Structure 1
Amino acid sequence: MGENGPIRIVCFDLGGVIIRIHYTWEDTCKSVGLAVRKEAHEPKRLAATRSVTEAFATGRLEEDLWAREMVSALDGLYSAEEVERIHEGWLRDQYPGIDDVVSILNETKGVCTACLSNTNPRHWRMMKERYPAVRMLQHRHASHLMGYAKPDTGIYEAFETAMQCDGPSILFFDDLEDNVAAARSRGWHAHQIDPAGDPADQVRTCLASYGLM
């Protein structure tokens, strides 16, 4: 039980909690067999690609324009086909045991499961198609559909409104410190997951401390 009442919602980030991902452009390029072109990391290009990524993740950039905008941000260092290969390669496998955790929670009386993910239309489709644990979640919320991305407080407010709940009733798992801090500022019971470890075991340990496992 949380400090201000029972936990009603167990909410997961996806990348780094349910799904193993690549965290750098270099690692992703290598995973799909592309050369790492160091010029892509010049400050001007980094800022431009970050802007495109944020627009795509908050629904402000149409999917059919995304690859072209990314190629432009990179000054043509990568082709549209290469950008799409890198984008697809960002997602890896599902963490072992996390589907069992979701399954148990789905059978727990008085609790529902959800996700709150910074993502985009392409990755959203891929995650729902590829990963059983994502499909098992009872409520799925994504940044590109909500118009905000973590750690913007707007996405947490939108989640609370959609789920008809308040912060203290939410138990939240995310791999990024800023996202956890923003959730805590709204009263969520937020815990940071180490993606290099065993997320399923970390989640189980935390759930046990709340009497949920």
Structure 2
Amino acid sequence: MTNKPKVLMFDLGGVIVPWVGLIELSKICGITADEVNARFADSDVFAAYERGHVPDFIFLAELVDMFDLDLKDPRFKDPAALWNSWVHAPYPNTLETLATLKSRFTTACLSNTNALHWAHLNTMFNTSETFHHDFASHHLNEAKPDAACYTKPLKIMGVEAKDVWFFDDTMANVEAARRVGITTHHVDRAVGVLPTLRELGLID
């Protein structure tokens, strides 16, 4: 492996853990996953929630409104539980692999997330123990693909962009990280990060 990185930085949803919200909302609403994504992208409330600027209850009301969820339907009576149900346990063998990588590299996560998902993730594994640095958009008050969402973690870690390899399943985030000088790797969210790590020779 050439140009060995100092830092391996990982997105979470679609890389370390499956996030199936796009698929589930497309089924519920009878629209495409791209249309679901577009509704999130058009929501100022969701953008603010990812950046830690609005509380859970405001976002949950927006979620119900965005997708016209009928709260009388038993499936939707608890929007917070529904929201968290779409974040699944880590892809098989991923936590063990991260533990091995942590002994060889500085490791970090950088995730567009929110208070509810962050708390839910930390019931499945401890992000601060799994990684040397755990960066969440709602803590940084920045979100990918904005450049500041990458440059703030670089400053906190005290490293240069050229020393970091970043893994993300969303091409816009990959391209944005590349523009600030980070080496990027696009991950297939259907399988998570392990195949990409093998291709790069980081694991057997």
Pairwise TM-score range, normalised by the shorter structure: 0.7 to 0.9
Distance 2:19 2:65 in 1: 25
User: Residue 167 of structure 2 contacts residue 193 of structure 2 at CA under 8 Å; is this kept in 1?
Assistant: no
SS at match of 2:197: helix
The sequence identity of aligned pairs, in percent, is 28
CA RMSD for the aligned pairs? 2.9
Distance 1:134 1:28 in 2: 30
User: Residue 12 of structure 1 contacts residue 174 of structure 1 at CA under 8 Å; is this kept in 2?
Assistant: yes
5+ residue gaps, structure 1, are 31-35
5+ residue gaps, structure 2, are none
- Give per-residue Cα distances to partners, 1:90-123, cap 9 Å, x unaligned: 1012111211221111111xx2110000000010
Residue number among 177, 189, 206 corresponding to 2:200 in the alignment: 206
SS at match of 2:13: coil
Query: What is aligned with 1:16?
Result: 14
User: Residue 59 of structure 1 contacts residue 144 of structure 1 at CA under 8 Å; is this kept in 2?
Assistant: yes
Matched, 1:129 2:123: yes
Matched, 1:52 2:41: no
Distance 1:166 1:181 in 2: 17
Distance 1:132 1:102 in 2: 12
Distance 1:174 1:93 in 2: 17
- How far 1:164 sits from its partner (Å)? 1.2
Matched, 1:90 2:86: yes
Query: What is aligned with 1:33?
Result: none
User: Residue 114 of structure 2 contacts residue 137 of structure 2 at CA under 8 Å; is this kept in 1?
Assistant: yes
Task: Give the 3 Å change call, closer, same or farther, for CA 29–93 of structure 1 in structure 2.
Answer: farther
Max radius of gyration: which structure? 1
User: Residue 128 of structure 1 contacts residue 135 of structure 1 at CA under 8 Å; is this kept in 2?
Assistant: no
Task: Give the 3 Å change call, closer, same or farther, for CA 172–207 of structure 1 in structure 2.
Answer: farther
- How far 1:203 sits from its partner (Å)? 1.7
- How far 1:205 sits from its partner (Å)? 2.4
TM-score scaled by length of structure 1: 0.79
Distance 1:200 1:133 in 2: 18
Distance 1:77 1:195 in 2: 26
Q: How does 1:6-85 map to 2 (within 5 A)?
A: 6-24=4-22, 27=24, 36-38=28-30, 46=39, 50-74=43-67, 77-79=69-71, 81-85=77-81
User: Residue 17 of structure 2 contacts residue 87 of structure 2 at CA under 8 Å; is this kept in 1?
Assistant: yes
